[in-house]
Chain A
Amino acid sequence: MLDNQSCDFQGMPRIEIHHGAYIREGHMIAMPLCFPGVTTPIDANDSFITSLIIGPDEIIYGGTSGKHAHIFAAFTRGPTGVVVDLGEYSESTEYIGLAYTKEQLIAGVNGKKGARILSRHIQNIPFADCIQEWKFDISPFKIAIELPEKEKIIDLVSDNNQNGIIGVTDKGLFRWDEETNSIKTYYDIKITRLTKDKDSNIYGIDKTGQIYLINDNKGDIKINLGEKIKGSFEKGIVWCKSNPEDISYLADSDGGIFCINKSGESKKIGQTHLQPVTCMAATNDGRLFGFCGHGIANLFVYEPRKGTFRDLGVAVSVLNRRRYGYEFACAVTNKDGEIYFGENDRG
């Protein structure tokens, strides 16, 4: 991989050094966290995007962290192009996970008063369009469950059948059931991160690199063990699913990239040039994109057909909003193959 760490750059023309710093393929567009010209953005102190999911109707939901936590909905398709703040949850400082069931949007938050599972109905697409008329239904979140004091949510996904969520806290695994609004804990299972593939299979991993295949059978979780991966999984693990392939991708804290199949078998496919990997998403043609590196992250791409990793440079937006992109924490791919990266930064 051509990277900026090991290259010497001697003799390189200034124009190449300069323009070669930034995104060298495709375009990035910085989308403000507001309805431009209509609403004010989410306060810059609260604007660290730490969670993204694609919901029904291709609405993107995001959770922010900062002085206060917010949930927003980003409408990107058709005559929309707006972000709507669905509400601030002032008792919390970080959104950890978002998921949805058949009826509800679910959010896991941490804060001074402990961890909470919040819920509200799934957002509707706005009435009319967002050029000359609009109408949004915005309803408040309610606290579905308060977790035990001092317990922190680490990750969550909706369960296989979207009847509840499966989450992990610093104590262990749990399942929240929507119908009964109750939690069942599996604290002996020390999973740290979760993901769900396109067929709704749920995978987990623990600090030793042990892969777990998680199935909820009418509310009761069944675990099958997959492979134990050799890597560094103490912290900073990033998962993502690949839409066209029956695999998930996993990054360890050293930038090692693995693919995991449905049986929980893994294969290391490469290594990013910078660490840590902070987020990844695969496009609908199978390419894997992600950000890596502290301070000023670089975008990388893995092309499965070629088996190669490439550094694509620093994120910059020149269409619409002019902004450099430095730190990202989450990413999702929509039906159109567009990747949305959540900027984990102020402003």
Chain B
Amino acid sequence: MNAFAFSTAPIDAPALARGLADRGCGGFVSFEGWVRDHNEGLAVTRLEYEAFEALGVKEGERIVAEARERFGLTRIACVHRLGTLEIGDVAVWVGAAAPHRDEAFRACRFVIDEVKHRVPVWKKEHYVNGDSGWVNCERCSAVPSHAEAHAPHGHSHAQGHEHAEGT
């Protein structure tokens, strides 16, 4: 199985975690991004995710490879949902297993941060008031920023905003 994948079906977190089981690993950390019912003061009813899948998988695999290189012998998987998601659905799952907990925590954090900034995935929020909008493209588009040293493919504007999930 690839380390990074998109899925139109609900994420089966226990199965993904079992897939990382390794007799040499003593620590396992996972992260789930959930669809939240509000964002920037607006009540959210559902989200739609869309990806440029060919490049998304390629970039996702590059992120996982970078994490393995930085944090040593680490087993990593990441799955990102596509399509329409309801409040409470798991939008993204990252798991990292390593010989010791520190590498597992750091690898997991690295992967979710890089995925959010580099993988070509977009989300459209639908609001209770009937409006909708592409996150980072419409309501926030007036203030592009240029400084982002650690994520060369990232969109700097995304950083520092928290959108409709719990990262």
Co-assembled chains A and B: no
Q: List residues of chain B with CB under 8 Å of any chain A CB.
A: none
Q: List residues of chain A with CB under 8 Å of any chain B CB.
A: none
